[in-house]
Structure 1
Amino acid sequence: MMANRNDDDSAAAPATRRRVGRPRAGVLSKRLITETCLRLIDERGTEAASMRAIAAELGVRPSALYNHVAGYNELIAGVRELISERIPVDAFEREPWDAALATWARHYRDVFAAHPSLVALLAVLPLAEESVTTVMYEAVIAKLGDAGWPDTHAVTVLVALESFVLGSALDLSAPDDMLDPGPRDDVPRFSSAYRARAALLAETGTRPADASFELGLRALIAGFSAELASLAATGR
């Protein structure tokens, strides 16, 4: 009987080893890997989303991931693609350029507010070739060009708005009372202004981050409109 058990064990061991490297979900793909990476980033932060951690989450060996992604940089680039797919650009087909920019900015902020850990990571990551993000930018720049923005200024407008949106996404994920000065008496003007704003927002049921975003967005769009008029007047 002992010999039979040893034979059974030795026969089963290779089969067990063969199963290692196969995902519990059944099919390993680049999209599954990048979606798992995004989920781990959301749950544990960017430092926790290593190739080894993703492999462990999927029940495979790390080497299995390299059949689908070249490495960590390509993986993070894939995460950016997942995020960009969730930011609609159809407003640029039906709205004036300034209204379309505002609509796009709101969607952009909401998507990144759901994944705040990605803001710092993706803000400094160069775009990959054939990137979905580049296609999104194409829609923005095409609309700006049709509205009269010269090529020399269109990308600058996009980046200026994008920088504001990403900062606002972080603000949206922060506590509403983050700036509360508390019972201090050495900052009377700030304390008074903070309490006045809090009272107003409580009346309207508006979150502080939303109020700041909408004010900033109106100011940016108004500034862009004034800049475009100035460029048209000077013929630049």
Structure 2
Amino acid sequence: MARPKVPLLSRERIADAALALIDRDGLTELSMRKLAAELGVQAASLYGHYPTKDEVLDDIARGVMARVDTSAFESGDWLAGLTGWARSYRAALVRHPNFVPYLASGPGTREENLRAADAVHGGLVSAGWPPREATMIGAATRYLVMGSTMGSFSRGFEDDAQVYRDRYPHLDQAHLLRAKADEIDTESFELALTAFTDGLRLRYERLSPTHVAH
């Protein structure tokens, strides 16, 4: 029998299948055995492409983080840079909430993470933020993004009005939240981001009388 022109397996196909499995079943459910079953092959077939599960996860992380955009910092406007980065960061992560815990461990040595961290820190320091403050702003923004993507606040409520009506009078509309979960979660993130950046703008104005807020 002639060899197939297109290989049955590739690193891209394996990583895509792994991410789909994580999206569906959760990060802890990923194993090379389960991944092989998803692809209809034996686990041994995967090892020529990925010797370990960690290498699969690292490739997924690179793909997710490659979607994060820090280009707005190039304008010199630290506020536009920060909000643009935060929004693109959330957009990349919210598509794969089950994978966020893996990304939450820190930038590590992945090129995409370090490139983004360098652009954020450099953009803030160039705008006049002290290096220590720039580090904390980057970390705080990351906390905000990570927290907003690890789970849905609105989907945590039951859609049965009776669950809340008698015992929790201030939650008498909570049963309606699930139907508008995406809208509420996105707008809640925007509210938090606006409140955060409004506070930073005031802090920036107080840093030095020579600073002009962007």
Sort the TM-score into its range (normalised by shorter chain).
0.7 to 0.9
Give the drift of 1:95.
6.3
Which stretch has the larger CA shift, 59-68 or 175-184? Answer: 175-184
Q: Any idea what the Cα deviations from partners look like across 1:146-181, whole Å, max 9, x if unmatched? A: 111222222221111111112112455852856987
Q: Any idea what the Cα deviations from partners look like across 1:42-92, whole Å, max 9, x if unmatched? A: 122223321112222233332332323341222212211111012222222
Residue 145 (str. 1) matches residue 121 (str. 2) = no
Cα distance in 2 for residues equivalent to 1:45 and 1:167: 17
Structure 1 residues without counterparts, runs of 5 or longer: 1-14
Residue 218 (str. 1) matches residue 194 (str. 2) = yes
Q: 1:94 aligns with which of 71, 75, 80?
A: 75
Using the size of structure 2 for normalisation, the TM-score is 0.77
Secondary structure, aligned partner of 2:164: coil
Which stretch has the larger CA shift, 77-86 or 147-156? Answer: 147-156
CA contact (8 A) 2:154 2:184 kept: no
Cα distance in 1 for residues equivalent to 2:153 and 2:76: 29
Kindly provide the amino acid, as one letter, of the partner of residue 25 in structure 2: R
Give the drift of 1:123.
1.0
Match in the other structure for 1:7: none
Using the size of structure 1 for normalisation, the TM-score is 0.71
Q: What is the number of equivalent residue pairs in this alignment? A: 203
Cα distance in 1 for residues equivalent to 2:30 and 2:66: 21
* Structural mapping, 1:135-174, within 5 Å: 135-172=115-152, 174=154
Cα distance in 2 for residues equivalent to 1:54 and 1:116: 19
Match in the other structure for 1:182: 164
Cα distance in 1 for residues equivalent to 2:204 and 2:187: 26
Match in the other structure for 1:40: 21
* Structural mapping, 1:25-174, within 5 Å: 26=7, 28-94=9-75, 96-124=77-105, 126-172=106-152, 174=154
Structure 2 residues without counterparts, runs of 5 or longer: 210-214
Secondary structure, aligned partner of 1:60: coil
CA contact (8 A) 2:70 2:119 kept: yes
Give the drift of 1:128.
4.5
Q: Any idea what the Cα deviations from partners look like across 1:171-225, whole Å, max 9, x if unmatched? A: 55852856987213x544x347x68xx8xxx9xxx92223321211111112222
Cα RMSD (Å):
3.3
CA contact (8 A) 2:36 2:43 kept: yes
Q: Any idea what the Cα deviations from partners look like across 1:111-133, whole Å, max 9, x if unmatched? A: 21111111223212x54434212
Distance 1:121 1:136, change over 3 A: same
Cα distance in 2 for residues equivalent to 1:150 and 1:228: 10
